[in-house]
């Protein structure tokens, strides 16, 4: 088995173990040590692994998330945890040969969900929205949404995340295209403006 194929297996093993598609080179290195099990030796095995990760990106198996050393797995449809712990909903409306699925709770299980809630707060970003409720623990209920879905080239990163009430989250996914696109464009502007204000300070 080639080094690249073995590294793919290690990445998939790690992502299934962690229940997250997002990972760093350090996390992979800490879990798998010196990479002897994929035949990478020498004094700089991490350099070889970085090269292999670049090749896996070129193959469409993963993508880079900004310049922080994070990667997002793209080359498989479901992680084990997504199959076993998440209810899926068929949203394609297409013929049975072609189906598309939405994993609604996936992003809430990642570090990005926590960061997005800390950054944006617990109120829906749609203007004048009052659709929220208080959970039994006293916290406001809010959902984290990928503005541009991963399957359409979006990334796990704050610039592509928003916090929405359940109603507007469903609207972003299920509304007629003209309305869903209006929500997307609004969120892209809103999140972009927030970043510009931070950069200016």
Identify whether 135 is part of a domain. Answer: yes
| The predicted structure's pLDDT at residue 110 | 62
What distance lies between CA 145 and its chain's CA centroid?
9
Residue 133, number of CB atoms within 10 A of its CB: 8
Residue tagged 């997005």 (tokens): 116
| The predicted structure's pLDDT at residue 18 | 79
Calculate the alpha carbon distances from 56 to 3, 61, 75, 148, 161 in Å. Answer: 11, 5, 9, 22, 25
Q: What's 26's domain CATH number?
A: 1.10.10.10
Nearest one of 46, 1, 5, 40 to 28, comparing CA atoms: 46
Identify whether 25 is part of a domain. Answer: yes
| The predicted structure's pLDDT at residue 16 | 83
| The predicted structure's pLDDT at residue 90 | 42
Q: What's 113's domain CATH number?
A: 1.10.30
One digit per residue, pLDDT tens: the chain, 201 residues? 588 888 888 888 888 887 777 788 788 878 777 666 667 766 677 778 888 888 888 888 888 775 556 788 876 766 676 555 434 444 444 444 443 444 433 444 467 788 888 889 999 999 899 888 899 999 889 999 989 887 677 777 788 899 999 999 999 989 999 999 999 999 999 988 776 665 455
d(CA 23, CA 15): 8
pLDDT tens for each residue of 46-84? 778 888 888 888 888 888 775 556 788 876 766 676 555
Residue tagged 């809103």 (tokens): 190
Statement to judge: residues 108 and 196 lie in one domain: yes
**Which of 24, 54, 73 lies at the terminal end of a domain, its last residue?**
73
Report the number of distinct structural domains present in the chain: 2
Identify whether 87 is part of a domain. Answer: no
Domain enclosing residue 109, as ranges: 104-200
Angle at 191 between CA 136 and CA 75, to 5 degrees: 85
Say if CB 40 and CB 3 are below 8 A apart.
Answer: yes
pLDDT tens for each residue of 140-153? 899 999 898 876 77
91 CB-near residues (< 8 Å, 6+ apart): 100, 101, 102, 173, 174
């Amino acid at each position: 088995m080639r080094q690249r194929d073995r590294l793919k297996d290690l990445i998939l093993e790690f992502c299934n173990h962690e229940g997250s598609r997002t990972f760093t080179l350090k996390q992979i290195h800490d879990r798998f040590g010196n990479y002897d099990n994929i035949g990478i030796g020498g004094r700089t095995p991490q350099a070889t692994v970085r090269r292999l990760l670049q090749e896996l990106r070129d193959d469409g198996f993963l993508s880079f998330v900004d310049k922080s050393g994070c990667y997002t797995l793209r080359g498989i449809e479901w992680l084990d945890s997504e199959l076993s712990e998440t209810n899926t909903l068929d949203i394609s409306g297409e013929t049975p040969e072609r189906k598309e699925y939405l994993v609604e709770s996936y992003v809430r299980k990642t570090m990005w969900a926590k960061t997005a809630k800390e950054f944006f707060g617990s109120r829906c970003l749609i203007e004048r929205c009052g659709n929220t409720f208080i959970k039994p623990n006293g916290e406001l209920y809010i959902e984290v949404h990928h503005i541009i879905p991963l399957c359409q080239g979006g990334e796990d990163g704050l610039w592509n995340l928003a916090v929405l009430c359940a109603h507007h989250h469903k609207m972003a996914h299920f509304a007629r295209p003209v309305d869903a696109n209006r929500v997307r464009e609004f969120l892209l502007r809103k999140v972009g403006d927030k970043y510009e204000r931070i950069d200016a300070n």
